Amino acid sequence: MNVYPSAAAVVSAVALAFLGTPLVAQKTAPPPRSLQAQIDELRQDQAKIQRDLAEIKALLQERASRTEVPAARMPPPTVSLNVHGEPFKGSALARVAILEYSDFDCTYCAKYATDIYPLLDQAYIQAGTVKYFFRDLPGPEHPNALFKARLARCAGDQDHFWEAHDRLFRDQRPLDGPGLTQFATDLGLDESALKACISGDNHLDAIQRSARLASGMRINGTPAFLIGTLSEDGSVLRAAKVVLGAESFQAFRTVLDELLKPAEPASQKQ
């Protein structure tokens, strides 16, 4: 008679055999990393983050420092302006000219007027080689700019525009009643005539027309300069260069000296 082992006995034997056999295919977990290794990895991650942040910061700074002006809003490369009858500073015989658009409350305009303009005045305007025109472009962000533009033009009615120009850029504080009296006294103006001119809105149309012309040339900021040559009768300025913002004196000198070069004889243009 065959005696078969019970099912329980078979299961027990198999289990014992399984447990006694080494598990060759089973993988053991890697030993834990040392604390120093973990610190080193954290430092590497931190260094990478710092490099990434530095690159982002550099890109943002570059973008912030760049003036983003759409091409369609840039002034046209060549401009012809009718300046017939406009007041100017310099010799009537000069055939090179600068036309400035400015705002008496603009800080960049004041910096140009006090640092660069006097050098141009001495080197070119007083020397009789360059004629200087000034047009108003009072910005809406400057509530006193339009009043000061009218004030300077009214001072011009008494032949003191350029003295008013220098005074207003040298001191850009608002002018109250006593300040206006002091302004007239400093410039030797007839105060009653000056106040009558201002209250009568004299020159307002001319200032607004100046602003419209600037907008038509896509000039929307100050200071802005058109530099070029005048027609034979001095009534038309053909701008060879349009400059947005106050450049250095040397930048102006480079353009002016090129325009002032005598024309080459036709025989040398071969």
Choose the weakest-confidence range: 60-64, 139-143, 192-196: 60-64
Q: pLDDT at residue 30 above 60? A: no
More confident residue, 119 or 22: 119
3-state class (DSSP) for residue 151? helix
How far is 153 from 225, CA to CA, in rounded Å? 20
Kindly give, in sequence order, each residue whose CB lies less than 8 Å from that of residue 229, ignoring residues fewer than 6 positions away: 95, 96, 97, 237, 238, 240, 259
Which residues in 85-166 belong to E strands, given as ranges? 88-89, 96-102, 130-136
In the DSSP assignment, the letter for residue 206 is H
More confident residue, 172 or 24: 172
Query: What per-residue confidence (pLDDT) applies to 247?
Result: 83
Complete domains list, the chain, with CATH: 71-261 (3.40.30.10)
Instruction: Identify which of 146, 197, 202 has the alpha carbon closest to the alpha carbon of residue 175.
Output: 146
CA distances from 85 to 129, 139, 236, 237 (A): 19, 25, 10, 12
| CA 203 and chain centroid, separation | 29
Residue 160 half-sphere exposure toward CB, CA atoms < 13 A: 18
Query: What per-residue confidence (pLDDT) applies to 246?
Result: 86
Query: What per-residue confidence (pLDDT) applies to 52?
Result: 56
Of these ranges, 73-77, 233-237, 244-248, 266-270, the one predicted with the greatest mean pLDDT is 233-237
Mean pLDDT, all residues of the chain? 81
Q: What share of the chain in percent tops pLDDT 90? A: 65
Q: pLDDT at residue 184 above 50? A: yes
pLDDT tens-digit map of 75-128 = 555 689 999 999 999 999 999 999 999 999 999 999 999 999 999 999 999 999
Query: What per-residue confidence (pLDDT) applies to 36?
Result: 73
pTM of the predicted model, to two decimals? 0.70
Q: Average pLDDT of 46-60?
A: 56
pLDDT tens-digit map of 174-183 = 999 999 999 9
